[in-house]
Amino acid sequence: MQQRPFINAKLVIPVLALSLMNAPIRAQQETNFKLNVDVDLTELYVTVTDDQDRPMGNLGKEDFRIFEDRTEQKVSIFKREDVPVSLGLVIDNSRSIEPRKRRLDAAALSFVQRGNPDDETFIVHFDDRAKLTHDFTDNIPDLERALARVTPFGQTAIYDALFLAAERMAKAKHTKKVILLITDGIDNISHHTVEEAVEAAKRSGAAIYTVGLLSATEGLKAEQTLLRIAETSGGRAFFPENVEQARVSMERVARTLREQYLLGYFSSSPRNGAWRSIRLEIKPPLTSPMPIRLIASYRRGYYGPK
């Protein structure tokens, strides 16, 4: 006859009691985990200059106030350090760029080389149409070859190129995203409108820096368009008169990207997918010898999660 295994009742009761005692702890841990996942951490990269366009690097956390949809947010993260960037080079390849192409390619490549070693970069060229010349990479020689093998042709599809670059940013691995747009003219052939390009940029979260080598015939309209694209996204617009000035402008952008402030906060806005507007207030440091006006470049809003 097979014997039943011996069970010590004195051991069963304490073990069962211990299991029941641990159950609320596990449930609490799971609840805490879900609460943490549902909190929205928003990161804001900020460039601050004085009224002479000199960078301000001596600001502290207490000097910043962030408002989202008019509600002040608590600054939980404050850093000023070099972080890697997901970068899109959007480069004019129309016929008019041909005399300056080689020098502009060299300036664009120098811009990439001045970045963080962990940056990733893609290239979009535009002429009659926009095309992805090279996908994300950290290989500088590959980027150099991609720039060199393109031959200028046709007209200027700026908006289509920005739209394509903004879509490509969905594949970015870094939270800091930047598009550098280099052009010598105004859009004259895109299928997308400037409104569609700006909207795509807003959804991508990329700051757009524009370098416009504009001729006198392009006029005020081209300048205003590039200003709008840059300022709406939290970037800046530059209007150099020649390639050497364009190179200096790009070097300035590269330096700025490595010295920005990072402010992080947990948004109090509802999770409904709506646009969240951002306003930043900055007070000059008390150590300033005289009153100064500070100018901040940052994205003015973003689409929240649903």
pLDDT digit string, tens, across residues 4-53: 444 444 444 344 344 444 544 444 444 444 444 456 899 999 999 988 88
pTM for this predicted structure: 0.85
- pLDDT above 90 coverage of the chain, percent: 76
Residue range 128-179, pLDDT digits in tens:
999 999 999 999 999 999 999 999 999 999 999 999 999 999 999 999 999 9
Q: What is the pLDDT of residue 230?
A: 95
Segment 179-216, tens digit of pLDDT: 999 999 899 999 999 999 999 999 999 999 999 999 87
DSSP code per residue over the chain: -PPPPP--HHHHHHHHHHHHHHHHHHHHHHHHHHHHHTS-EEEEEEEEE-TTS-B-----GGGEEEEETTEEE-EEEEE------EEEEEEE-SGGGGGGHHHHHHHHHHHHHTS-TT-EEEEEEESSSEEEEEEEE--HHHHHHHHHT----S---HHHHHHHHHHHGGG-SSS-EEEEEEESS---S-SS-HHHHHHHHHHHT-EEEEEE---TTTHHHHHHHHHHHHHHHT--EE--SSHHHHHHHHHHHHHHHTS-EEEEEE--S-SSS-EEEEEEEE---TT-SS----EEE---EEEPP-
pLDDT one-digit tens code per residue, 70-125: 999 999 999 998 999 999 999 999 999 999 999 999 999 999 999 999 999 999 99
Domains of the chain are: 42-80+259-303 (no CATH), 86-257 (3.40.50.410)
Mean pLDDT for 244-264 is: 96
